[in-house]
Chain A
Amino acid sequence: MSTPREYQTSGIIIRKTKLGEADRILTVYTPELGKFDAVAKGVRRPKSKMAGHLELLTYSQLTLARGRSLDIITGSQTIESFLPLKNDLWLMSYGLYVIELVNQFTAIEVPDEDLFQLALTTLRQLCQSDNRDLLLRYFEIQLLQHSGYRPQLRECVACHQVLQPVNNSFSASNGGILCPSCAARQPFAHSITVNAIKVLRFIQDNSLESVLKLKINPILAREIEGVTRGYLKYLLEREVKSVAWLDDLREQMRVMVNKKVVNAPDTGDAENAATEV
């Protein structure tokens, strides 16, 4: 009776923390068992046979042994490694954002096949699609819907009047759009354009396939991102950590592009110009 019972499952590694000298606690997200923590022994040693199969953003087949508090991963084999996400700075950052949100919006051991498929599809599409902005917005909106926070985008959440094609407001605390007169009484509502509402509605009611065919300009993309971010932040009662990172990265990009634009005409050599800064 002393030998622990073993079982198999497959899931995406969504979080890892160090344990002791060479071990890790991994948070695995599976379709049939939901999210759970498990111990991976020795994976921080260079000769670990499992480490590569138990990295973040990896979908793996796992063998686990029942442990006293946490179960122990005794075997692992990659099903999908999402390789493009591991070879590109931006894609990796977006992928980490997706799994951080999955971790934040799921409870321990609550299986949800649909949400698992959404996460899996989003990571797969990140590897292929160029329309990353709308892919991420689709993921966020579907995640919200799944968690019972479907934003109300058809009528005013306060007075239930049909929305007019004017600048309305989005209120995170009300979970939807406020008409101009209701927004006047709500200090924390942010103005939202007609086009942003249209795109959000389209994302809410259509398949990922059709959403990815949509083309929107960068200004509208940033506006919509601002809306979903604000709503997610309100619901989580804190900033999503990888959002801060995405902002840093974007800022870094902007500074570097500006340096080139400003310096290049003078010297005709952007690389030399940048060295002096």
Chain B
Amino acid sequence: MAQNNTAATDAISRLIQELNKLPGIGPKSAQRLAYYLLRAPQEQAERLASAVISLKLEIKLCSCCFNVTDADPCALCRNEQRDRTKVCVVEQPQDILAIEHTGVYKGLYHVLHGALSPTEGVGVNDVRIKELTARLTDGIVKEVILATNTNLEGEQTAMYLNHVLNPLGIRVTRLARGLPFGTELEYADDATLTRALEGRSEL
């Protein structure tokens, strides 16, 4: 076994290594954060450590919409004020935050946890599509809003869901795909421009 001294520097390099794995954290930032925590009060480091641990222990997926939650069903599914006839399908839990932030949508959600990607081997059973169709058999849901990403995988997923859900007699809609706010027209690609033209509306 190593001496105390090397064990201590080991702890620092271990932390640097782990921090370095986080998105957006390069080796330099990882080092800076590690030495910051080394100098920070004991309780601050403990709060961080326990928050990280409870994230893994306490957060689970809602058995209805598969959003991340600490209570099952999640707060959105429990909320009596939400419109139960609408389900908005998103790829990731973070997408719910973005839509909720607008305050415009009052229905429920369904998180797929990914998008179909045939060439990467992500198929129907690798995302929560069966859970979605199972949820829609109760006859309460009248509209499914497909809010998957507008990239190729998101489009593929939306087209597949439309194909599967249409025969169920449920209205299937797709978020309008057009030019993002703040875009300059000359940089838009054909697919985006075509859809923007198709989805044009009166001012």
Query: Do A and B assemble together?
Result: yes
Binding site for B on A (CB under 8 A): 15, 20-21, 46-47, 49, 51-53, 55-58, 78, 81, 83, 86, 88-89, 92-93, 96-97, 99-100, 241-242, 244-246, 248-249, 252, 256, 259-260, 270-272, 274-275
Residues in chain A near residue B24, CB distance under 8 A: 20-21
Given contacts A55-B151, A244-B121, contact A89 B156 (CB under 8 A): yes
Residue pair A241, B139 in contact (C-beta under 8 Å): no
**Which chain A residue lies CB-closest to B22?**
A21
Q: A86-B191, A244-B118, A274-B169 are in contact. List 14 more A-B contacts (CB 8 A).
A: A46-B180, A47-B182, A51-B151, A58-B189, A78-B190, A83-B194, A86-B155, A89-B160, A97-B118, A100-B119, A246-B118, A272-B169, A274-B167, A275-B137
Tell me, yes or no, whether B152 is within 8 Å of chain A by CB: yes
Q: Which chain B residues border A58 with CB–CB below 8 Å? A: 189
Question: Using Cβ atoms and an 8 Å threshold, which residues of chain B touch A274?
Answer: 167-169
**A89-B151 contact in complex given A256-B167, A270-B167, C-beta closer than 8 Å:** no
Known contacts being A92-B156, A275-B169, is A15 close to B119, with CB within 8 Å?
yes
Q: Which residues of the partner chain A approach B163 to less than 8 Å between Cβ atoms?
A: 89, 252
B160 to chain A, nearest CB (A): 6
On whether the beta carbons of A57 and B152 are closer than 8 Å, the reply is: yes
Other-chain contact of A271, B119, B169, B194 (Cβ < 8 Å): B169
In whole angstroms, how far apart are the Cα atoms of A53 and B191 in the complex? 9
Which single member of A57, A248, A270, A271 contacts B123 (CB below 8 Å)?
A248
Chain A at the B interface: mostly helix, strand, loop or mixed? helix
Interface string of B12-53 (1 = CB under 8 A from A): 000000000001100000000000000000000000000000
Known: A51-B151, A241-B120, A248-B124. A271 touches B160 (CB 8 A): no
Please, could you name 26 A-B residue pairs with CB atoms under 8 Å apart, sorted by A? A15-B119, A20-B23, A21-B24, A47-B182, A47-B183, A52-B189, A53-B189, A55-B191, A57-B152, A81-B189, A83-B191, A86-B191, A89-B160, A92-B152, A92-B155, A93-B156, A96-B119, A97-B118, A241-B118, A244-B123, A246-B118, A248-B123, A256-B167, A260-B167, A270-B167, A274-B169
Q: Which chain B residues border A46 with CB–CB below 8 Å?
A: 180
A66 to chain B, nearest CB (A): 22
Q: How far is the CB of A128 from chain B (nearest CB, A)?
A: 16
Contact indicator B152/A55 (Cβ below 8 Å): yes
How many Å from the CB of B118 to the closest CB on chain A?
A: 4
What's the nearest-Cβ distance from chain B to residue A54, in Å?
Answer: 9
Mark B182-195 against chain A: 1 for CB-CB distance below 8 A, else 0. Answer: 11100111111010
Do A52 and B191 have beta carbons less than 8 Å apart? yes
A96 vs B118: C-alpha distance when bound (angstroms): 7
Q: Does B164 contact A (CB under 8 A)?
A: yes
**B71 an interface residue at 8 Å Cβ cutoff?**
no
User: Does A88 lie within 8 Å of B159, measured CB to CB?
Assistant: yes
Whole-angstrom distance between the Cβ of A29 and the nearest chain B Cβ: 14
**Cα of A20 to Cα of B23 in the assembled complex, Å:** 6
Q: List chain A residues, Cβ under 8 A from B119.
A: 15, 56, 96, 99-100, 241-242
Contacts of A20 in B (CB 8 A): 23-24
Judging by beta carbons under 8 Å apart, are B121 and A52 in contact? no
Q: Which B residue's beta carbon lies closest to that of A246?
A: B118
Nearest first, the 3 A-B pairs at minimum CB distance are A52-B189, A245-B118, A81-B190
CB neighbours of A100 from chain B (8 A): 118-119
Cα distance A261–B191 in the bound complex, in angstroms: 36
